[in-house]
Amino acid sequence: MYGDNMSERTFNLTALFSNHLTAVGVGKMKQTLKAENGDSYILEISVAKIPNKPLYQDRAWLAKEYVDKQRTMQEIADQFGVTPMSIHGWVRKFDIPSRPRGRRTPSN
């Protein structure tokens, strides 16, 4: 696909993008790179901030998902690979009113 052996071509990405790699938020960068032999390469990188804690540990996010969007604790737990009891613990910690157990119906 690329013709030559790409391992022979190395670029110092940290030097090129160090100011973007520590940026807060989400962004995209595009850089044209020139190899010593004159070949040009376009490098595109997406950058996103990695949260320090899972979103379900944020009261506003959990309330929006559980109360406003009516997602179940199981659905939220599955999104993060944790148990529904973990989500239940955070719902209780944040004093978010919990719904009765069981299947969702239009009335609950």
Q: Residue 18 — pLDDT band, cuts 50, 70, 90?
A: low
Residues 12, 15: Cα–Cα separation, whole Å: 6
Neighbours of 49 (CB within 10 A): 11
Burial 57-93 (b: 16+ CB within 10 A, else e): beeeebbebbeeeebbbeebbeeeebebebbeebbee
Whether the per-residue pLDDT at 7 is higher than 70: the answer is no
- Domain ranges for the chain: 6-48, 52-108
Give tens-digit pLDDT for 37-82.
Answer: 989 888 887 766 666 889 999 999 999 999 999 999 999 999 999 9
Q: What's the length of the chain?
A: 108
Tokens coding 48: 């996103």
Provide the whole-model pTM: 0.52
Determine the average pLDDT of the residues in 85-102: 94
Q: Looking at per-residue confidence, does 75 or 15 come out higher?
A: 75
